[in-house]
Amino acid sequence: MTRGRGILPLLIPAATLQAAAAAALPEHRITNIFQPLATPAESEYNIAMLIFAITGVIFVGVAGLIAYTIWRFRQPSDAAQHQEPPQVYGSNQIEVAWTVLPILIVFVLIGVSARVIAAVENASPPQAALKVTVIGHQWWWEVLYPDYNIVTANEIHMPASRDGKNATYLQLQSADVIHSFWVPQLSGKTDLIPNRTNFMWMDPREPGVYVGNCAEYCGTQHANMLLRVVAEDPADFKRWTVEQQKRSVDDTGASGDRAVFESLACVNCHNITGLGKASAGSKFGPDLTHLMSRQSLGSGVITNTPENLRAWVNDPQTSKPGCLMPSMRLTPDELTKVVDYLESLR
């Protein structure tokens, strides 16, 4: 089967279309379910095509019969107009045929769907598979790598799987309401439900940045709960984990700026590993330990540039109205120092 291009592109906000900081990786900007690039997405694509084909044949048959009937039995000339047409009463053969055929078709559809669902859902993680926990928040994604002791947000790094041997297993949880995790080219949707853990997996075939979005209405900024999967060659992924495990504050000379940051309420919500007690365990907002390694701010709303970061810290409500981070009403001097400090978190 040939794969259509751009049949149903799911358009995403313009901000995420901007070139990423790590521009080396190809960015799959248009999230096209008809161009699957991982096993679960491909299984779902194949079954969707099969069902399109079966229902397409039915549609053409039924629509064709209706069109033929309308034409063949159209209103005759005036002479015959008031005569009753010949009446035909039940035919057992026809009745049986149009009862049994649809039942068979429905069972075939149920059977093939169940097989694909089982194959995708029952796949058990190989011992070596990367495990990632994703927690949905209003309106951002917390991303944890328990085996690596890494906490990040909104961008999920994972190894690409050219040979189909690497897979990443995601544990999906929610901190507040129901969200839905969807990266169309990699897998179907799975909900993140409070007090429950759901699972999904993906094995991106090609390195690249795959964009996705929350797919369950979860409040004002639902549409700006964007996410990125950064699939890298395993060696690059390894390098990323090593960088992320470092304590970024160790290598800053910005201690004056840091003191200003620490004195503000920022630390009540944001953790920065190594910053000390003040921010330890703050999980209400995204972990900022390696903020500068991310491509976007505000869960994909704006690209991560110094100007955008300054504007964001000054008043997040301008870029993302309704988001849970308030404007701290910093003085220009405080703002400069806080932004300088954040810029050092590489």
State the residues that interact with ligand CUA by CB under 6 A: 136, 139, 179, 214, 216-218, 222, 225
Nearer to ligand CUA, 192 or 260 (CB): 192
Tokens of 69: 């009937």
Residues 318, 311: contact at Cβ < 8 Å?
A: yes
The H or E element containing residue 240 is helix 234-245
Nearer to ligand CUA, 25 or 135 (CB): 135
Inter-CA distances, 272 with 163, 223, 288, Å: 36, 27, 5
Q: Residues for the chain: how many in total?
A: 346
The least CB distance from residue 325 to ligand CUA, in Å, is 16
Helix axes 255-263, 332-343, angle to 10 degrees: 120
DSSP 44-73: HHHHHHHHHHHHHHHHHHHHHHHHHHHHHT
d(CA 284, CA 251): 25
DSSP state at residue 17: G
d(CA 166, CA 163): 8
Nearer to ligand CUA, 177 or 278 (CB): 177
d(CA 300, CA 249): 24
Nearer to ligand CUA, 137 or 270 (CB): 137
The least CB distance from residue 320 to ligand CUA, in Å, is 13
How many helices (DSSP H) and strands (DSSP E) are in the chain? 8, 15
Tokens of 344: 């050092």
Over its C-alpha atoms, the chain yields an Rg (Å, rounded) of 27
DSSP state at residue 229: E
The least CB distance from residue 177 to ligand CUA, in Å, is 7
Residues 226, 298: contact at Cβ < 8 Å?
A: no
The least CB distance from residue 215 to ligand CUA, in Å, is 7
Nearer to ligand CUA, 224 or 293 (CB): 224
The least CB distance from residue 155 to ligand CUA, in Å, is 16
Residue type, 162: R
Nearer to ligand CUA, 139 or 261 (CB): 139
The least CB distance from residue 39 to ligand CUA, in Å, is 25
Instruction: State whether residue 343 is helix, strand or coil.
Output: helix
Nearer to ligand CUA, 136 or 285 (CB): 136
Nearer to ligand CUA, 222 or 283 (CB): 222
The least CB distance from residue 343 to ligand CUA, in Å, is 29
The least CB distance from residue 220 to ligand CUA, in Å, is 10
